[in-house]
C-alpha cells in the first residue's frame, strides 16, 4: 500500500498525486457514465489547461494535503485496492467550512469492475469517520442527481438522511434533473 492514509478491509485512501493522473483516470472524468454526480463535471475535462487553469493537474496541485501552501478546504483522495494498489476511483472532502464545521463529500468509482461491489460505501465510511473524528467536523453533506441511484444508496447506507430536493436544478444529457441533498451530523454516523 503506497502512501496509505486511511485503510479499511479491501481498500485504502491515499492522497491523490500527480502520478495518479493517468490516461485511465482521465477517461473516468471524460465518461458521462462514470461522472454521474451533481454536475460539477464539464466535458471534456482536460489533463492540464494552461489558459483557463481548470485542468486536473492544477486542481490536484491546489488540494494536496501535504503542503502548507495548499487548500485547507478540499481534500482529494485516490481510492485504491489493497490487493493490487490499483487506483479505482476518487473521493473528496471539500468545501470545508471551519467556522460552521461542515463539509461536502463527493465520490467517483471510475473502474467499472469495482462499481456495485461496496467499494464506494467503504470509502464513504472512511471519509465520514475521518471528517467527524479526526477533523472534528459537525456535519457532512452531499448532493446528487435524482437519477444517480448508486450515490443515493451509499449516502443512506452510511447514515445520511435525505434533507431536500432542488427541483430541476441541473441540466444534463438533454433533461432537467432534480438534485437530492443528504446530510449527517456527528453522533448520527
Chain segment 9-40, per-residue pLDDT in tens: 999 999 887 777 766 776 666 665 555 554 44
Sign for the CA dihedral angle at 139, 1, 21, 26 comes to: negative
Domains in the chain, please, with CATH? 4-137 (3.40.630.30)
For Cα atoms 106, 109, 107, give the angle at the middle one, nearest 5 degrees: 5
Residue whose C-alpha cell is 477517461: 27
Chain segment 56-102, per-residue pLDDT in tens: 666 565 555 554 345 578 888 999 999 999 999 999 999 999 999 99
Chain segment 121-164, per-residue pLDDT in tens: 999 999 999 999 999 999 999 999 999 898 899 999 999 999 99
- How far is C-alpha 68 from the chain's CA centre? 22
Amino acid at each position: 500500500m503506497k502512501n496509505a492514509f486511511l485503510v479499511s478491509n479491501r481498500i485504502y485512501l491515499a492522497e491523490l498525486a500527480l502520478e495518479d493522473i493517468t490516461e485511465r483516470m482521465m477517461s473516468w472524468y471524460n465518461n458521462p457514465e462514470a461522472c454521474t454526480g451533481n454536475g460539477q463535471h464539464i466535458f471534456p475535462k482536460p489533463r492540464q489547461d494552461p489558459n483557463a487553469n481548470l485542468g486536473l493537474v492544477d486542481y490536484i496541485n491546489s488540494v494536496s494535503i501535504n503542503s502548507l501552501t495548499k487548500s485547507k478546504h478540499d481534500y482529494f483522495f485516490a481510492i485504491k485496492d489493497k490487493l493490487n494498489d490499483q487506483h479505482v476511483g476518487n473521493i473528496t472532502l471539500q468545501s470545508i467550512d471551519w467556522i460552521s464545521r461542515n463539509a461536502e463529500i463527493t465520490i467517483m468509482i471510475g473502474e467499472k469492475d469495482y462499481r456495485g461491489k461496496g467499494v464506494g460505501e467503504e470509502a464513504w465510511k472512511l471519509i465520514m469517520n475521518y471528517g467527524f473524528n479526526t477533523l472534528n467536523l459537525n456535519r457532512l453533506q452531499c448532493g446528487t442527481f435524482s437519477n444517480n441511484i448508486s450515490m443515493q444508496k451509499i449516502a443512506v447506507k452510511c447514515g445520511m438522511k435525505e434533507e431536500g430536493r432542488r427541483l430541476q436544478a441541473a441540466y444534463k444529457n438533454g433533461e432537467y434533473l432534480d438534485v437530492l441533498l443528504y446530510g449527517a451530523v456527528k453522533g448520527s454516523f
